[in-house]
Amino acid sequence: MKKVLILLLLIGLAIPGKLFAQQNRFSGWAALFHTQKFSDKWGMSFDAQFRSANHYDYLQNVLLRPSVNYYFDNNKMAALGYAYISANNHLPTGAKTFRPESRIWQQLIINTKISKAATLQHRLRLEQRFLGNTTNKTDHYFAQRVRYFARAVVPLKKAETFTKGPFVGLQNEVMVNVQNNHKVNNHFFDQNRAYAAVGYRVHKKADVEVGYLNQFVQQTAGTYFNHVLQAAIYTRF
């Protein structure tokens, strides 16, 4: 288990040293993640996220993302979903812009045990992105992106099964552009999100956590790090 956790941390830090001189930003994210099973095979998921702009100046993004899930067994699940993202920005001139984005996405999740009570989740997601016009412009476009996500939840108390108590959450996600990257940022690599959190399982079906997320973003002309304070609630029924 220790090797797995070390590997997750190394993935998040495996960025060439010269990039650490890039621009730094600071923001806050709040998120709710819910999963609902209707039967042994079928269920749904929904997450809602709210993200501030740099230095917490205003609400920059609202993300709403439902899906239909199919469970092969307790450890493997496929999903088909939709996402809506609103993007608000304030330009240096003071002008405000707005760009809506719709996504259709497909994903496969595989959960593995790394100890008696700790789990490691692998998630592979393909997104079809339909980005609408920004304010007063005709610059809508389509792009596709692949995302690989790994998350470990490690209880801080020894137990055969983890139903209540404190835990540490470690995760990393890598995103790459696989179609029309010239419309996004002119790069195959899009961004990396490394995250570490402390949380508490208040019930076998509910977790709360607070953590730090380091988001490295590749832009058309330059890169930046976004230092994010994130609070999240996870529910499972």
* pLDDT tens figures, 64-94: 999 999 999 989 999 999 999 999 999 888 7
pLDDT-derived band of residue 17, with 50, 70 and 90 as boundaries? very low
Average pLDDT over residues 200-217: 97
Give the whole-angstrom CA distance, residue 42 versus residue 91.
45
Q: CA torsion sign, 16 to 19 to 25 to 26?
A: positive
Contact in structure between 112 and 82 (CB atoms under 8 Å):
no
Contacts of residue 52, defined as CB under 8 A and 6 or more positions apart, other chains included, come to 27, 28, 29, 58, 59, 60
Average pLDDT over residues 199-223: 96
Query: What's the whole-model pTM score?
Result: 0.90
> Helical H runs in the chain?
2-13, 181-184
165-206 residue pLDDT tens: 999 999 999 999 999 999 999 999 999 999 999 999 999 999
For residue 115, give both structure tokens. 């100890």
